[in-house]
Amino acid sequence: MVMHYSRNKDNREFTLYQLAQLTEEEAWEIFKRCRFGDKERFACPECGAIEKHWYIKTRRQWHCKHCSHRFSVTSGTVFHNRKLSFSKLLWILFAFITGLQGANANELPSDIGITYKTAFLNVGKIREVIFETMDMTPLSGIVHIDCMHICGKPRRSNNRKASDSVLVNNKLRIRKDSIVPDKKTHPEPSNLKKLKNRRIVLALSQLALNNDGSYGSNRTITYVLRKETAEIILPLIKKSVTKESIIMTDSGGAFNKIEPLLGIKHFAVNHSTQYQDEFGVNNNQAESFFSRMRRAEFGSFNGIGRVYLAFYAAEFAFKNDNKTLGIKDKFYSLLSKILGREPSKAFCGYNQGKRLGFEYTYD
């Protein structure tokens, strides 16, 4: 049996225990190394002059020799104007990377003594970086594609009718009914309102041979859609999959025209009878991606806001794509990526009431 990736030896060599023993100075050193590297000379974020800038030790800031701009290790990055200590930020990043079902902002308050809002904000900023830096170059080889309905989960009505009990039983046995509500079986106005929050995540997973000889996906591209229709989905597939690839999906109606309209070889498996047909056609990589995301939605987040859904999808694509990488490599590469990005669009000014005001969706 293939070992779960979280049990790799790499994952025991860099731990929260070690991280918790770092002093603030050592945590700052990690930030400095990830942003400016080991060299004494680095570029001023304001004017770009590569110099050995004057260091003001008491403020942990540099004074640019060229333009006199003063900057810190987080100036102009996602953690610009940070209030949290460096060691707490590292803790949040570690929790984000190691949480198999997503970083849970409900747990961070008791871990490091911050409010839920601060935890949500900082985890959200990391998610946004991952969303913005997702590798969008077209996938090739065998690509598994599927859609998942998420957000706007219906609730049972307070009054149980005779006909309702069939539905309730169905809900327990057939999970899909609670995930994709039928308008006929959920006529309650509150549930119809909830349906307006319904979004669809489209996932495209590229199949590859893992180091341990197993097959798995090594790259995933995700999109958030408002409707599951061919008009929205086909153009996205066209720009995300090379023409020479082979696409595998379930027999969903939106995928029917992939071969005639896009000219990409397409096989479909009929999920009402089987998960893989006799020729090995399946879309299990996309399905397992969704299964992880669904477990996180119910088990970790207790619901995902549609406004940030694109960020959550990107988080799970990141986890999926980097699963064979050790925690240490993931930790430092993600921190370097964060410190190379500009302040967050979605969460800058969040505490002052500013909100994104739009969704990253296709419709």
- In the complex, the residues that contact Zn ion under the rule CB under 5 A are 44, 46-47, 64, 66-67, 69
Burial of 121 (0-12, 13-18, 19+ CB in 10 A): buried
Please state whether beta strands 199-209 and 215-225 pair in parallel, antiparallel, or not at all (unpaired). Answer: antiparallel
Please identify, using beta-carbon distances, which residue of 35 and 186 lies nearer to Zn ion. 35
Residue 190 identity: S
How far CA 250 is from CA of 206, 245, 273, in Å, comes to 16, 17, 11
Beta bridge partners of 61: 56
Q: Shortest gap between Cβ of 29 and Zn ion (angstroms)?
A: 22
28 close to 60: Cβ distance less than 8 angstroms:
yes
- Provide the CA 140 distance to its chain's centre, in angstroms: 21
Strands (E), the chain: 42-43, 50-51, 54-56, 61-63, 70-71, 142-150, 199-209, 215-225, 246-250, 265-269
The H or E element containing residue 191 is: helix 189-195
Please identify, using beta-carbon distances, which residue of 44 and 121 lies nearer to Zn ion. 44
Q: Shortest gap between Cβ of 42 and Zn ion (angstroms)?
A: 11
Please identify, using beta-carbon distances, which residue of 48 and 280 lies nearer to Zn ion. 48
Please identify, using beta-carbon distances, which residue of 46 and 287 lies nearer to Zn ion. 46
Alpha carbons 296 and 104: distance in angstroms, whole number:
9
What's the chain's Rg over C-alpha atoms?
A: 23
Q: Shortest gap between Cβ of 45 and Zn ion (angstroms)?
A: 8
Instruction: Centre a 10 Å sphere on the Cβ of residue 223 and count the other Cβ atoms it contains.
Output: 20
Please identify, using beta-carbon distances, which residue of 62 and 331 lies nearer to Zn ion. 62
How far CA 101 is from CA of 2, 176, 233, 292, in Å, comes to 19, 21, 27, 7
Please identify, using beta-carbon distances, which residue of 53 and 186 lies nearer to Zn ion. 53
Please identify, using beta-carbon distances, which residue of 64 and 314 lies nearer to Zn ion. 64
Please identify, using beta-carbon distances, which residue of 44 and 167 lies nearer to Zn ion. 44
Q: Shortest gap between Cβ of 47 and Zn ion (angstroms)?
A: 3
Q: Shortest gap between Cβ of 51 and Zn ion (angstroms)?
A: 8
**Helix/strand/coil for 231:** helix
Q: Shortest gap between Cβ of 46 and Zn ion (angstroms)?
A: 4
46 close to 67: Cβ distance less than 8 angstroms:
yes
Q: Shortest gap between Cβ of 76 and Zn ion (angstroms)?
A: 11
Please identify, using beta-carbon distances, which residue of 45 and 326 lies nearer to Zn ion. 45
Q: Shortest gap between Cβ of 57 and Zn ion (angstroms)?
A: 19
Query: How would DSSP label each residue in 252-283?
Result: -GGGTTIIIII--EEEEE-TTT-SS-TT----
Helices 327-339 + 116-132 axis angle, to 10: 90
Q: Shortest gap between Cβ of 36 and Zn ion (angstroms)?
A: 14
Residue 23 identity: T
